[in-house]
Amino acid sequence: MTVEAFRIGGDGATRELFSYEEAIRQFVYVELPFDGDGDGRNDLIRVDVIRPRELDGVARVPLIMDPSPYYERLDRHGDRKRYLHDEDRWTSPLTAFPFFYDNYFVPRGYAFAMPDTSGTALSDGFCDIGGRRDIASANAVVDWVNGRAKAYWSRDDRSESNLAYADWCTGAVGAIGKSYDGSLANGMAATGIDGLRTIVPISAISSQYDWYHPYGCLLDGDDADGGWYEPYNFAEYLQSTAHGLLQRFTVSDDGYKALRAGADHERRCYDDGFWGERNYRTHAAGFKASVFLVHGVNDLNVMMNQVAPYWDALGRAGVPRKLWLHQYGHDDPFDIRHDAWVHELNRWFDHWLLGVDNGVMDGPAVSIEDCDGVWHDHDSWPVPGVRDHVFAVHAGVLAGMPDDDGEPTGGPATGGDTASADAAADAANRSVDAVGDSAMTGRTDGPAYTASFRGARIAELTPWSEAYKKHGDRLLVVGAPLERDLHISGTPHVRLRVRLSGGDTNLAVQVIEYGEGNYVRVDPDLSALVPLKETRTCGQSSPDDKPTYPVCAPRRAHDTAHVVTRGWIATAHIASYERFEPVSAGEWLDVNVPVLPTDWTVRAGHRLALQVANTTTRLAEVPLVDVDVDLDSIRLTLPAV
């Protein structure tokens, strides 16, 4: 009797045909071509696999994999790997695979694997944080199922008789994962490895430099170095402690020393060696895998600076791609747009791994959630129809500038009826005193109109109740109410002229919306979702593995102020991220402050505001300096419809 390897249902996606409870659960140790932990033998990577029993020896199946350094450290939606014999994990298969990928896809004719990447959990080696070893340990699984790497049934026997062959696999592999896991998928694709057909990076890093040192700065954190994890102490945190024995610390020049030196914590310089190796988007031209990106515009962990340049690079390279942008934080689409996500992911893997002609690439390439929670499809991102709207400071008000045709590019903030004009005049009168102690004063030794404020590390959001008060530690200019909705889509920019009292510090900006609304609020863990008592089940179950998870709701607050986006620059990197050049104190400087990309609609009747400060609590502490701003120089450019 012929057994079908898969079957397409009426919804255009593969149907359940096989038993999850009866599926084969096994593990292998895949050999890497190097010795990353210095113990004198090549490293072995633990890979846990589950696949349909009914197809064993009958038909080959494609593989979906989620490589991760976290399986020993962190939960997946409240799940952990659970072993048949927890006291001897090295020789034990899993009874439970965390999250839903196995429960959902194995009954549909896929194999699923969870590799412990180099130096973590049950794998040998050294975790070099997105570097060559890290990516190679994930790629080793692709090599194994394509017959290019050896694997063994146990870790202590490397004889020919103990070899494990992936003769059950077609060789077609898809890599998926959120955060670090998705970053590994990006790194895998950057190598151009044969057999990797598609990747689905969720809230993932495309350039490690832009995560560790965004715009030359350090993010806030509570570790000993004053910023978020640096590569060397992050590697130590991830290093395996299996059996209570810490694996060999590599202190050689290519181990922790290399991570510390390459990260360049003090100077934060980009280089083509250390950071170039971890910049996956520069290799887009060599991708052989399609890419389905999913990201939150309010993700303050892996921020939108990981998305826009990556999306552009993929487009220039002609890589088949799809993009979903939601309005939340470091969150999973499983919890945001559940039914649509699971179905689209199913169709995506069916197309790229099984070769099903299901039209998944025929529709719009981009789907974006708006501020009301409604999803809209577009052919491109930034969305079609975007053009630059330029705002400047006029009489203390943030207002639109005319374009070449004499029309105001920030039109919604400039024209209008008598009420709007009165509001603008009122705003101007109040904001003159709000922008600084020396605001709008005539000068003979420099710009005609300047604002001055003292160095401080401030919160990003100034509440509406404080918007028109006098601030000695920031510049805040507010616009008149918008006459029309302003859909911002893409990467804003801020240009201004400043004079600083010190040379190595930060300059930070925020674009703020003032007006009543239900705004997303990200919690300290950087999620914007709240689990409810209601649950949902996705996929088949076994007695030890039930894919049941809380339904989540957005964390929103009715408020009158919201940070639309933010940006900053380390002043020692104004000229180049590759050179550390503290600016000259007391001299006027023209500065382009990069701003995080976003997709957000500021509503009609609401006000736009621009805030400029020395630094914010989003960033690690730096030397504080006093700042003078040439008000006439300020230009806020918003790509908007």
For residues 462 and 470, give the distance between their C-alpha atoms in angstroms, rounded to a whole number: 12
* Catalytic-labelled residue, pool 299, 332, 599, 628: 299
Provide the 3-class DSSP secondary structure of residue 393: strand
* φ, ψ for residue 608, nearest 5 deg: -90, 145
Would you call 295 a catalytic residue per the annotation? no
Indicate the average pLDDT of the chain.
91
Q: What angle do CA 373, 378, 381 make, to 5 degrees?
A: 95
Please, what's the b/e burial string for 200-236 (b: 16 or more CB within 10 A of its CB; e: otherwise)? bbbbbbbbbbbbbbbbbbbbbeeeeeebbbbbbbbbe
In this predicted structure, what is the pLDDT of residue 248?
A: 52
Mean local confidence (pLDDT), 432-450 = 49
Sorted by where each begins, the domain ranges of the chain are 24-286, 387-523+556-640
Q: What is the pLDDT of residue 241?
A: 76
Residue-level pLDDT at 524: 81
CA 237 to chain centre: 21
Name the β-bridge partners of 47.
28, 115
For residue 283, give the 3-state DSSP assignment.
helix
pLDDT band at 448 (very low <50, low <70, confident <90, very high): confident
Please say whether the beta carbons of 611 and 510 come within 8 A: yes
Q: Looking at residues 294-320, what average pLDDT do you find? A: 97
Provide the 3-class DSSP secondary structure of residue 270: coil
Pairing of strands 450-453, 111-115: unpaired
Structure token pair of residue 555: 């964390």
45 within 8 A of 124, measured Cβ to Cβ: yes
Q: What is the pLDDT of residue 447?
A: 82
Phi, then psi, of 271 in degrees rounded to 5: -140, 155
Q: Supply the pLDDT for residue 401.
A: 75
Mean pLDDT of the region 456-474: 95
User: To the nearest 10°, the Cα dihedral for 403, 408, 412, 417?
Assistant: -170
Does position 226 have pLDDT exceeding 90, yes or no?
Answer: no
Tell me if domain 24-286 and domain 387-523+556-640 are identical in fold: no
Q: Do 202 and 333 touch, CB atoms closer than 8 A?
A: yes
pLDDT at 435 over 50: no
Range 585-610 average pLDDT: 97
Task: Fill in the amino acid letter for 631.
Answer: L
486 touches 412 (CB < 8 A): yes
How would residue 253 be classed by pLDDT, with cut points 50, 70 and 90?
low
Single-letter amino acid code for the residue at 152: Y
- Locate all alpha helices (DSSP H) within 150-248, ordered by sequence: 180-190, 208-212, 231-238
Q: Residue 513: its pLDDT value, please? A: 98
Give buried/exposed letters for 350-387 (b at 16+ CB in 10 A, else e).
bbbbbebebebeeeebbbbbebeeeeeebeebbbeebe
DSSP for 330-355? S--GGGTSHHHHHHHHHHHHHHHHH-
CATH for 24-286 (3.40.50, 1.10.260, 1.10.3300, 1.10.575)? 3.40.50
Nearest CA-CA partner of 600 in 155, 297, 348, 376: 297
**84's tokens:** 């048949």
- Which H or E run includes 257? helix 256-263
Among 359, 293, 350, 285, CA closest to 319: 285
CA distance 135 to 128: 9
Q: What is the structure's pLDDT at 424?
A: 40
Residue 640 C-beta-side C-alpha neighbours within 13 Å: 23
Write the pLDDT tens digit of every residue in 516-556: 999 999 988 889 999 999 999 999 999 999 999 999 999 99
Q: Is the pLDDT of residue 166 over 90?
A: yes
200 φ, ψ to 5°? -130, 85
For the chain, how far is it from start to end, CA to CA, in angstroms? 59
Instruction: Please choose, from the candidates 490, 493, 459, the residue with its C-alpha nearest in 3D space to the C-alpha of residue 476.
Output: 459
- Asked if residues 464 and 514 have their Cβ atoms less than 8 Å apart, the reply is yes
Q: What percent of the chain has pLDDT over 90?
A: 82
* pLDDT given for residue 225 in this prediction: 55
**pLDDT, tens digit, for every residue of 394-433?**
988 999 877 655 555 554 444 333 333 334 434 433 333 3
Q: Which of 213, 330, 389, 487 is catalytic?
A: 330
Tell me: pLDDT of 593 over 90.
yes
Say yes or no to pLDDT of 247 above 80. no
For residue 194, indicate whether it is catalytic: no
pTM for the model stands at: 0.93
Structure tokens at 276: 């170039």
Quick check: 456 pLDDT over 90? yes
C-alpha dihedral over 380, 383, 389, 391, to 10 degrees? -110
Model pLDDT, residue 250:
56
pLDDT tens column, 168-222:
999 999 999 999 999 999 999 999 999 999 999 999 999 999 999 999 999 887 5
Mean pLDDT value across residues 486-506? 97
Poorest-confidence range of 1-15, 59-73, 110-124, 137-151?
Answer: 1-15
Strands 457-458 and 615-616: parallel
Q: For 351-393, how does the pLDDT look when each residue is reduced to its tens digit (9 = 90+)? A: 999 999 999 999 999 999 999 999 999 999 999 999 999 999 9
Please say if the pLDDT value at position 42 is more than 50. yes
Indicate if the alpha-carbon torsion angle 352, 355, 356, 358 is positive or negative: positive
CB-count burial class (<10 Å; 0-12, 13-18, 19+) for 40:
exposed
* Contact criterion met (CB below 8 Å) for 464 and 434: no
Q: Any residues with CB less than 8 A from the CB of 18 and at least 6 apart, and which?
A: 52, 53, 54, 55, 106, 107, 108, 109
For residue 243, pLDDT beyond 80: no
The answer to whether 539 and 103 are in contact (CB under 8 A) is: yes
Respond yes or no: is residue 179 known to be catalytic: yes
In this structure, what token pair is assigned to residue 468? 């028109």
- At 113-146, the pLDDT tens digits run 999 999 999 999 989 999 999 999 999 999 999 9
Pick the catalytic residue from 68, 118, 123, 179: 179
CATH number listed for the domain at residues 387-523+556-640: 2.60.120.260
3-state SS, 262-311, equals HHCCCCCCCCCCHHHHCEHHHHHHHCCCEEEEEEECCCCCCCHHHCHHHH
Mapped onto helix, strand or coil, the DSSP state of residue 188 is: helix
Q: Which tokens sit at 280?
A: 């996956």
Report CA-CA distances (Å) from 639 to 7, 17, 369, 384, 600. 45, 48, 17, 11, 11
